[in-house]
Amino acid sequence: MRVMLFPGHTLGSITYVCGDAAFVHDTLMQPDVRTAQADFPGGNIKQLWDSIQIILALPTETRLFVGHDYGTEDREGPMWGATVAEHKAENQHVKDGTEREDRIRRRDARDATLPLPDRILAALQINLRGGRLPPAEDDSRAHL
Ligand SMILES: [Fe+2]
């Protein structure tokens, strides 16, 4: 199994490649959901684009398993993966023929309209401490 650092969605996004399967974290979503935000702390749209290009250079039959999926207005229920070929044909953000600078400009513009995800500030406080809660305060409780 290869472990590959693919920053962009976050600074520490990684992908595990094992045979014809790759577990791509949130670097890619399902083709009909497209790609993840790149405006979180440590995120970078240019790095996200470059990371995705390396993933899409894997053999076309490689199955890409996403970190999460919730369905869409047109698709009820979650899915877990799609092939490189399916992303290259169907993912509107990265399909064949997509121009790097145009995609980066569009992603930046869209991210500027999105609110912070629910509970991200609490999650970051724990992530930055390596999964630990903050120290207890005077009431003996950890507060986020
Ligand atoms: Fe994420």
On whether residue 29 sits in a domain, the answer given is yes
Mean pLDDT score of the chain: 94
Which residues place a Cβ less than 5 A from the ion ligand 1?
A: 26
Full-model pTM: 0.84
On whether residue 136 sits in a domain, the answer given is no
Does residue 142 surpass a pLDDT of 90?
yes
Which tens digit of pLDDT belongs to each residue from 14-62? 999 999 999 999 999 999 999 988 998 889 999 999 999 999 999 999 9
On whether residue 138 sits in a domain, the answer given is no
Give distance in angstroms: CA of 139 to centre of ligand 1.
Answer: 33
Q: What's the confidence (pLDDT) of residue 67?
A: 94
Q: What's the confidence (pLDDT) of residue 41?
A: 81
On whether residue 18 sits in a domain, the answer given is yes
Q: What's the confidence (pLDDT) of residue 126?
A: 93
On whether residue 109 sits in a domain, the answer given is yes
Give distance in angstroms: CA of 9 to centre of ligand 1.
Answer: 7
More confident site: 55 or 11: 55
Q: What's the confidence (pLDDT) of residue 78?
A: 95
Percent of the chain with pLDDT over 70: 100
Give distance in angstroms: CA of 114 to centre of ligand 1.
Answer: 14
Give CB contacts under 8 A, 24+ apart, made by 103-110.
103/49, 104/45, 104/46, 104/49, 107/35, 107/38, 107/45, 107/48, 107/49, 108/45
- Residue 3: DSSP 8-state: E
User: What range does the domain containing 28 cover?
Assistant: 2-127
Does residue 127 surpass a pLDDT of 90?
no
Give distance in angstroms: CA of 26 to centre of ligand 1.
Answer: 5
CA distance 24 to 26: 6
Give distance in angstroms: CA of 98 to centre of ligand 1.
Answer: 23
Give distance in angstroms: CA of 140 to centre of ligand 1.
Answer: 32
Give distance in angstroms: CA of 138 to centre of ligand 1.
Answer: 33
Domain CATH number, residue 50: 3.60.15.10
Give distance in angstroms: CA of 20 to centre of ligand 1.
Answer: 23
Q: What's the confidence (pLDDT) of residue 118?
A: 87
On whether residue 132 sits in a domain, the answer given is no
Total domain count for the chain?
1
